[in-house]
Amino acid sequence: MDVKRTRDISEVIETLDAISWQGPASTNMRSSAVEALENGKVLYFPRLAFELSKMETRFLTPAIADARAKNVSFDPRTGKMKGAIASDADLAAVTEMMRRYYEYARKLVETLLPRYAPALEAGRTSFRPVEIKDRTISARKDDTRLHIDAFPATPVGDRRILRVFTNVNPESKGRHWRLGAPFEEMARDFVAKLPKQAPGSAWFLKTTGMTKGRRTAYDHMMLNLHDTMKADDGYQARVVQNEFSFPPGSTWLVFTDMTSHAAMGGQHLFEQTFYLPVHAMENDNKAPLRVLERLAARPLV
């Protein structure tokens, strides 16, 4: 792709030199972390690795994942895992590996961002052993196209989507991302083109079980922003963007509902999703919810 406009990488990546998931964070590190995160930057920890045991390294193969799912998913709230294909003993080992990643990721967020800790809600833990590059899927599902995160079946309402990622690739292959324009700049490009939410649709989706909760006006707008920006080839080519490769042994943390991102290549990734109520932020005026409410000139939840 011919990237026509870029920024200095320091405008999109905040590098923090943490080497322990459970080590203490200085006051200065915590302050800079929350400010950078809420401004839409990626917090990057180049030396924060998730170490696998020798036994666990044998799970670094696409064969561990169901071909239909492409990733293994663990729910820390229930302890249940899905998407893995293995013997009962290996399934138990994979479950414990993923539980450990969840515990490490949660400790990192609680230590680095203590303001968030009381309100933090656990989402799913994922292990992605399949190469993302050259997968044949629809534009709407194609994560190699710039997008912000929004979940069709899981409305977030007044919560943020916060994600921790760690590259555990054993062959020195980076997780290659593109990072796009600031949220408000992106939203202004598309908000006037978004379809209106049909009256009664939120009730219907919830009643029929198509969504796990009520799809708010905010959820509707975010889903359509996600789909519209992915489908717009012109936008994908012309928008300001930066490329960055996260090497093996590194971890990064980002509000994926705010920061436009695209995963261009890489294999063997752990990912932990958290939800954070907007009111728990240091400055909730920076939340996508508040930005879209200002642009729409009305409440959205």
Q: What angle do CA 210, 255, 57 make, to 5 degrees?
A: 85
Range 48-65 average pLDDT? 96
The pLDDT score that the predictor gives to residue 182 is 97
Q: What is the pTM of this model?
A: 0.95
Are the CB atoms for 1 and 176 separated by under 8 Å?
no
pLDDT of 2 over the 60 cut:
no
Range 16-29 average pLDDT? 83
Report pLDDT digits (tens) over 206-234: 999 999 999 999 999 999 999 999 999 99
The bridge status of strand 242-246 relative to strand 72-75 is unpaired
Are the CB atoms for 13 and 42 separated by under 8 Å?
yes
Range 270-276 average pLDDT? 98
Instruction: Tell me the Cα Rg of the chain.
Output: 19
The pLDDT score that the predictor gives to residue 1 is 44
The pLDDT score that the predictor gives to residue 136 is 61
Q: How far is CA 19 from CA 50, 150, 163, 216, in A?
A: 10, 31, 18, 40
Report pLDDT digits (tens) over 79-100: 999 999 999 999 999 999 999 9
pLDDT of 63 over the 90 cut:
yes
Task: Compute the half-sphere exposure of residue 139: CA atoms within 13 Å on the CB side of its CA.
Answer: 10
Class of domain 10-296: mainly beta
Range 129-155 average pLDDT? 88
The pLDDT score that the predictor gives to residue 3 is 46
Task: Compare 167 and 70 and report the one with higher pLDDT.
Answer: 167
Range 278-282 average pLDDT? 98
pLDDT of 69 over the 90 cut:
no
Domain boundaries, the chain: 10-296
* CA nearest neighbour of 49 among 126, 104, 106: 104
The pLDDT score that the predictor gives to residue 61 is 96
Task: Compare 89 and 18 and report the one with higher pLDDT.
Answer: 89
Predicted confidence band at 70 (pLDDT cuts at 50, 70, 90)? Answer: confident
Range 167-195 average pLDDT? 96
Range 163-192 average pLDDT? 97
Predicted confidence band at 4 (pLDDT cuts at 50, 70, 90)? Answer: low
Report the amino acid identity of residue 60.
L
Where b means 16+ CB within 10 Å and e means fewer, 40-55 reads bbbbbbbebbbebeee
